[in-house]
Amino acid sequence: MAGAVEKKLAELGITLSPPNSPVANYVPFVRTGSLLVVSGQICFDAGGKLVAKGRLGAEVSIDDGAKAARACAVNLLAQIKAAIGDLDKVVRVVRLGGFINSASGFADGPKVMNGASDVMVEAFGDKGRHARSTVGVAALPLDAAVEVEGMFEVN
């Protein structure tokens, strides 16, 4: 039976797919004590297709970038569920780190990352508010527009 957070996600039209496996020499998450660190998730949709491909400020609009960041956040939630079994065990979203595939001079990465931050607040309420970094990068795997990593306090 789904917990309160998953019910909230369902009301928002968000379903969690099985998480993607790592594509290199790393693990999808590490738990140490009450901290869960989730490796960067690129912007795959439920069908395994990139939500946005290319550079913000060139091929990708801010709105499409925010949708991509939102997909990354949903993928983070899927990894959390795989790690701890129940999203209701999340005590706090501590931090998100966003990597924005950016054209030279693109400075609106924080607007793009709001897509991921909004998901965390929608899912967890006030305990979804978090510290955050947003970094523009020259390239991401598979030419994804956005990648997001996270740190969570869990029971």
* Pairwise CA distance, residues 99 & 125, whole Å: 24
Residue 28, domain member (yes or no): no
pLDDT value of position 40: 97
Residue 54, domain member (yes or no): yes
pLDDT value of position 2: 75
Number of independent structural domains in the chain: 1
pLDDT value of position 1: 58
Residue 106, domain member (yes or no): yes
Enclosing domain of residue 108 = 4-15+37-154
Q: What is the pLDDT of residues 74-100, one digit of tens each?
A: 999 999 999 999 999 999 999 999 999
- Residues lower than pLDDT 70 in the chain: 1
Q: How many CB atoms lie within 10 A of CB 36?
A: 22
pLDDT value of position 52: 98
Here the CATH number for the domain that contains residue 119 is 3.30.1330.40
pLDDT value of position 114: 98
pLDDT value of position 21: 85
Residue 21, domain member (yes or no): no
Residue 92, domain member (yes or no): yes
Residue 22, domain member (yes or no): no
* DSSP annotation string for 104-154: TT---HHHHHHHHHHHHHHHHGGGG--EEEEEEES--GGGBSEEEEEEEEE
Residue 23, domain member (yes or no): no
Residue 93, domain member (yes or no): yes
